[in-house]
Amino acid sequence: MTQLGDFMAIVGIDLGTTNSLISVFTDDGPVLIPNETGSFMTPSAVGYSNANEIIVGHAAKDRLVTHPEKSAAWFKRHMGSNKGYRLVRRDFRPEDLSALVLKKLKADAETFLGEPVERAVISVPAYFNDVQRKATYAAGKMAGLKVERLINEPTAAALAYGLNDKEGESTFLVVDLGGGTFDVSILEIFDGIMEVRSSAGDAFLGGEDFTDAVFKMFGEQIGPKFEKLDAKQRGLLRDLSERAKHLLTTKPDVTVNYNGLKETISLKITREEFDEQTKKLQSRLRLPIQRAVSDAGLRAENIDRVVLVGGATRMPVIRSMVTRLLKLFPEHSLDPDHVVALGAAVQAGLVDRHAALEDVVMTDVSPFSLGTNVSVDIGNGQYEHGHFQPIIERNTVIPVSRVTRNSTLTPDQKEITLGIYQGESPRVNDNIFLGEMNIKVPLNKKKGNHESFDIRFTYDVSGVLEILVTTLSNNETKRMVIEGNPGSLSQEDITKRLKELDKLKVHPRDKAENLAIIARLKRAYENHLGDIRRQIDQNLTYFETTLAKQNDTDIAAAREKVIKWLEEIDNLDVF
């Protein structure tokens, strides 16, 4: 490592719906940081252990099956909302749970780098709105990180790919289908400049929706009993659904043995059925791609390369759909699960002014439109309120400053109330409300005249929106700033929650791997019957007694043995 001493590295973080990764930029380029199990991917799952300690990652994910009431996952989907997760008499917001994941990643990086980590670049889906972005900022703060920048996930992916080809001149389209979100970006590289031309996406489409589809198909096969399944039995079935979905990428059909009920139920799914059942989900890929293409002022035939990012793009249905839409075979030379984290590290390197990136400049766009509400004359002296007037159009290069002139509705109007919105609907009601300004009409204005206002929007690279309203008759200017942070939680809230999270007892990192194995054994126990169950029990006892002896070499050997055995078992019920 080069970053030592008083020079602290900025880390890049891919805070995903299903998995999260952390990385750092070094002289050799972006590098992923492994967690305690040696894997780069940490499941974005949080839970309480039986000793009431907080656990994050693999163990928490397995415990979703055995202890659904003590575990939570997929909370990224609810970032910025008020959805609460109740785990053992305690309420968590999605920000809290994300902060716990971030804290865990931070600890991994500190172990790996041998120095404290305090600054980070976190990736977010391009289609995350302002509220969701603020929530991500807040989560970072609660984890004790200074969030230097949020980077759009497809932009990060493009950075990772672009860095390999920075001398070239090409236009490429990034298709990023993650666990919970779908993003598309078009990137143009010329003379070492990486320019994002456009971004579009669907914040509610991801691999998890395809797992849900398999889950539903299995549910139909189980029949009426499906409705009566409890949380644990459902968790078990969903776990099987996910594994079946993964196996379907390489096999034409998959059978699973479901042991959640008293007898073993064999459930089968073929790739054709899966393709048929997910038609609706597949069709949702089209609109964002089309939008990105036309917003960039291009046609699909102008695209040189298509790059696939996100674990869900492993599904053959996605690949064939993308090929059909763009008439171009997509490439995936980098691991689709790692690309975003690698790109986040590149952005961290850029923020950090790393020498290796001296010649690289990246420009990004605002993926959404920003504007105000206006009333529109519909004839007969009538006005219709609540129309959206974009001031900064989506996919404009940032930083950007744009101005529009509006005037009062009636000559005797005393005040205007200016609503600030983000979104693409022609009606403000369907867009996201960001703030409101009240501007008084000057009293000395000539009677019977309308008052006009110049409304200037300035949007910068860190997501800060500044609004300046100038009243024309007296040239007075009123200013408002909508910040990228602190967001829906106030500054005090964040500090308070930071302290509360610090009070939570976190399971020691060096024991996490063993805990993960125990959780996995227990999950396997839940999912089996009869003989295998007894064998699992034996393995569990064997592992626990080895742990009790506290001999590290023995424990490592036992770990390896049990993992190998568990893999064999897994292949028994999903094949």
Partner 1 sequence: MATYYEILGLDDHPSDMKSAKRAYAKKLRVTRPDDDPEGFMKLRDALDAAKNEIAWREHDAAQIDEPAIAPAEDSVTLNAQEDEPSAVNISPEAINDLLAETPAEPEPVIEDIEPTGDQVLMSRFSKAFNDPFMKNDKAHWSKLLDEKIDLTIDEHIDFEERFRGALINAYNQWIEDKKEQPTLRRPLPHPIENLIFDKMEWRFLQETDTYKANEVDWLKGQFDLYNREAPKTHQATRVQAPQFEDDGISAPKMIWRIVRTILIIVALNYLFHLF
Strand partners, 481: 466
Site string for partner 1, 379-398 (x = CB under 8 A): --x-xxxxxxxx--xxx-xx
> Is there a contact between 73 and 43 (Cβ–Cβ < 8 Å)?
yes
Interaction of residue 407 with partner 1, rule CB under 8 A: yes
The binder of partner 1 chosen from 88, 190, 479, 544 (CB under 8 A): 190
SS3 22: strand
The binder of partner 1 chosen from 270, 283, 541, 545 (CB under 8 A): 283
- What lies within 8 Å, CB to CB, of 120 at 6+ separation is 10, 11, 12, 13, 102, 106, 140, 145, 146, 147, 148, 348
Interaction of residue 530 with partner 1, rule CB under 8 A: no
Choose one: 69-77, 329-337, 413-421, 557-565; the region binding partner 1 (CB under 8 A).
413-421
Interaction of residue 146 with partner 1, rule CB under 8 A: no
Smallest distance, partner 1 to C-beta of residue 277, A: 14
Interaction of residue 426 with partner 1, rule CB under 8 A: yes
Q: Is 363 exposed, middle or buried (0-12, 13-18, 19+ CB in 10 A)?
A: middle
Smallest distance, partner 1 to C-beta of residue 442, A: 16
Smallest distance, partner 1 to C-beta of residue 301, A: 6
Smallest distance, partner 1 to C-beta of residue 144, A: 24
Interaction of residue 319 with partner 1, rule CB under 8 A: no
Choose one: 45-53, 358-366, 488-496, 525-533; the region binding partner 1 (CB under 8 A).
358-366
Smallest distance, partner 1 to C-beta of residue 472, A: 11
Smallest distance, partner 1 to C-beta of residue 289, A: 6
Interaction of residue 464 with partner 1, rule CB under 8 A: no
Interaction of residue 491 with partner 1, rule CB under 8 A: no
The CA-based angle 464-469-471, given to 5 degrees, is 170
State the angle between helix axes of 58-66 and 512-526 in degrees (0 to 180), rounded to the nearest 10: 30
> Is there a contact between 407 and 453 (Cβ–Cβ < 8 Å)?
yes
Interaction of residue 155 with partner 1, rule CB under 8 A: no
Contacts with partner 1: how many residues (CB under 8 A)? 75
Neighbouring C-beta atoms of residue 490, cutoff 10 Å: 11
Query: Residue 265 or residue 409: which is nearer to partner 1 going by CB?
Result: 409
SS3 291: helix
Interaction of residue 313 with partner 1, rule CB under 8 A: no
Query: How far is C-alpha 260 from the chain's CA centre?
Result: 31
Interaction of residue 277 with partner 1, rule CB under 8 A: no
The binder of partner 1 chosen from 136, 181, 185, 369 (CB under 8 A): 369
3-state secondary structure 458-524: EECCCCCEEEEEEECCCCEEEEEEECCCCCCCCHHHHHHHHHHHHHCCECCHHHHHHHHHHHHHHHH
Smallest distance, partner 1 to C-beta of residue 278, A: 12
Interaction of residue 345 with partner 1, rule CB under 8 A: no
